[in-house]
Structure 1
Amino acid sequence: MVKRMLPLVIGLSICGIASAQHLPATAQSASSATETTQTTTTVTTWTSKPPMGALTEDAIKTAIANAGYKEVKGLEFKDGVWRTEARGGNKQWAKLAVGPINGRIYPADGPSKLNKNEVSAQLTSAGFQDIKHVKFEDGLWNAEARSTRGGDVNLKVDPNDGSVVARSHD
């Protein structure tokens, strides 16, 4: 999977700036007497299973343990990331999100190094267009955008480097 993802990431990075053209959200056609506007909406949904190349559940538990958490409970794949609660070194329970591919831990109450504008800029440089509804919640940035293929996607974005952690299918 890594071999397949690397060319895609490189291609998106290179093509992101070159393909900064706006794809129309509506298609318009005119008849002889009246003008009709036709709108196409793409429904995006999160898959209930981790994507191809994702870390196994055991690898996710190991990543959580390596981050200093113990007693993982309720681990489930939801909204594109692994969600769980784990007891930290302070013996308090913390809600966590874990990236399915990168295995990074995102505490729900963790801070973000990036602001809304920086996240939008990172997504634009990755080739996404029409970026909107950028919001930081539960340790990850969430955004809606149009992919390079023209479909609407929901994104989960790393609060430290602006990389896409998960995306809905378009």
Structure 2
Amino acid sequence: MRKHTALILPAALAAALAAAPALANPATTLTEPQVRAVLEQQGFTRINDLEFEDGMWEADATSADGNRVDLRVDPSSGKVFAEDMVSTLSADDIKARLTAAGYSKVNDVDFEDGIWEAEAERPDGADVKIRLDPTDGRILGVEND
């Protein structure tokens, strides 16, 4: 299995953002054509099944080295997460970050398809599913569970 570090190339993202000035606002969600452009700029080809699901863009594609990979793309930043990406954080790191962010009852912490996923309770008592970046623990998305 090939190990990947962060796949987003600053120049590729800058070009995609320059092509879509409205994306300067990080709260803006990338559109399907913009996600496809970011993936192509990073060398992915045969991009199939590109769809927005569970708060992230998902697709399968052929990597520059010819392997088929499942991908997830952060809809705000355009950062790409490949299924075989290696995390620099442990499950305990993720639990600690979520606890520090005010979540409680953190459970079901799993590294899946290149990102961390966990279930927890928000301070208001709502149960949520959280997705986190495997390199820095940044929360990518939170949705009601």
Give me the TM-score of the superposition, normalised by structure 1.
0.65
Give the match's secondary structure for 1:113.
Answer: coil
Give the match's secondary structure for 2:120.
Answer: strand
Does structure 1 residue 85 correspond to structure 2 residue 76? Answer: no
Instruction: State how far apart, in whole Å, the 1-side matches of 2:37 and 2:124 are.
Output: 35
Q: What is the deviation of 1:109?
A: 1.3
| AA at the equivalent of 1:65 | E
Give me the TM-score of the superposition, normalised by structure 2.
0.76
C-alpha distance after superposition, 1:39-86 (max 9, x if no partner): xxxxxxxxxxxxx73111122112212322122111011222111011
| AA at the equivalent of 2:70 | K
Q: What is the deviation of 1:133?
A: 0.9
Q: Which consecutive residues of structure 1, in runs of 5 or more, have no partner in the other structure? A: 6-51
Aligned partner of 1:31 in structure 2 is: none
1:67 to 42, 45, 49: 42
Q: What is the deviation of 1:159?
A: 0.5
- Structure number with greater CO (CA < 8 Å, separation at least 6) is 1
Aligned partner of 1:119 in structure 2 is: 94
Instruction: State how far apart, in whole Å, the 2-side matches of 1:62 and 1:121 are.
Output: 35
Identity %: 33
1:158 to 128, 133, 137: 133
Q: What is the deviation of 1:148?
A: 3.0
C-alpha distance after superposition, 1:112-161 (max 9, x if no partner): 11000111111122222211110111111110011233211001111111
Q: Which consecutive residues of structure 2, in runs of 5 or more, have no partner in the other structure? A: 1-22
Aligned length: 124
Aligned partner of 2:111 in structure 1 is: 136
What's the C-alpha RMSD, in Å, of the aligned pairs? 2.4
| AA at the equivalent of 1:109 | D
Instruction: State how far apart, in whole Å, the 1-side matches of 2:77 and 2:103 are.
Output: 20
Give the match's secondary structure for 1:168.
Answer: strand
Aligned partner of 1:23 in structure 2 is: none
- After TM superposition, what 4+ stretches of structure 1 lie above 4 angstroms from structure 2? none
Instruction: State how far apart, in whole Å, the 1-side matches of 2:84 and 2:73 are.
Output: 13
